[in-house]
Amino acid sequence: MAGSRLLPRKCCATIGAMSLSSLYLAPEDPQSAPDVDGVTDVLRELGLIDQPLAPGIYSAGTGFSRHVIYAGCSPFLTMQPPQDGSLQFCHAAMHGPYPQPRLVTGPNTVKPRCPACRAPLADWREHLEQWLSGSAMPSCPGCEKSWPVHELDWRAHAISGRVLIELRNVFPGEASPSDMLLKCLHEQSGAPWRYAWAAYLNED
Ligand SMILES: [Zn+2]
């Protein structure tokens, strides 16, 4: 994808020191809310998920490494929960449907861009709380248009959706979904999906 050249190059050896990160999939239209059970069935049929670990949380199945495709060095993937209770292992979490799109960012989230003129919104972190509470809307410094926060171009380093699939323990740029996974989600939900990397989302 076009944004991939913007990704930082990371060596496997540095990964252990980084914060917990996930690969997310969401419908391209952040307002759409496909049936979560249907989406979960797609993941199960592809073997991406196996047993439930908690409500909405599933262990990785044998298809995980087929449908989460690593770009560079193949890390040793921990598929089982570590003894120390760490969440640093490959598993999946289903989120939603939320009444409104939920934005997930992370420590690696880059400046979002205006979807019309591409100008970067440099001070986004300072304003994010206001944007999410609805007390202010992002305003482009280039063309001066205002946008819902969910319509900014987060360049695959944040994602918005009313339904989110979270594939945990995938670092930014490290792996992306297979074409087959995106195709099956599109077919099941009737609309295209996209993906991004962001921090672990723990339900509150
Ligand atoms: Zn603009």
For the chain, the domains span 20-74+87-110+155-204, 111-153
Model pLDDT, residue 148: 94
Share of the chain above pLDDT 70, in %: 90
Question: What is the mean predicted confidence (pLDDT) over 62-85?
Answer: 87
Q: Report the alpha-carbon distance of residue 43 to residue 55 in Å, rounded.
A: 15
Q: How far is the CA of 184 from the centre of ligand 1 (A)?
A: 34
Task: Decide if pLDDT at 80 tops 90.
Answer: no
Q: In what order do the strands lie in the sheet with 193-199?
A: 49-54, 57-60, 91-95, 164-168, 21-27, 193-199
* Burial zone of 84 (CB within 10 Å; 0-12 exposed, 13-18 middle, 19+ buried): exposed
Q: How far is the CA of 157 from the centre of ligand 1 (A)?
A: 19
Model pLDDT, residue 87: 87
Task: Decide if pLDDT at 10 tops 90.
Answer: no
Return the higher-pLDDT residue of 85 and 48: 48
Q: How far is the CA of 119 from the centre of ligand 1 (A)?
A: 5
Q: How far is the CA of 17 from the centre of ligand 1 (A)?
A: 36
Q: Report the alpha-carbon distance of residue 159 to residue 109 in Å, rounded.
A: 10
Cis peptide before 192, with omega less than 30 degrees from 0?
A: no
Question: What is the mean predicted confidence (pLDDT) over 158-173?
Answer: 95
Task: Decide if pLDDT at 6 tops 60.
Answer: no
Confidence of residue 72 (pLDDT cuts 50, 70, 90): confident
Q: Report the alpha-carbon distance of residue 16 to residue 191 in Å, rounded.
A: 36
Q: How far is the CA of 113 from the centre of ligand 1 (A)?
A: 8
| Span of 6-15, 23-32, 107-116, 167-176 with lowest mean pLDDT | 6-15
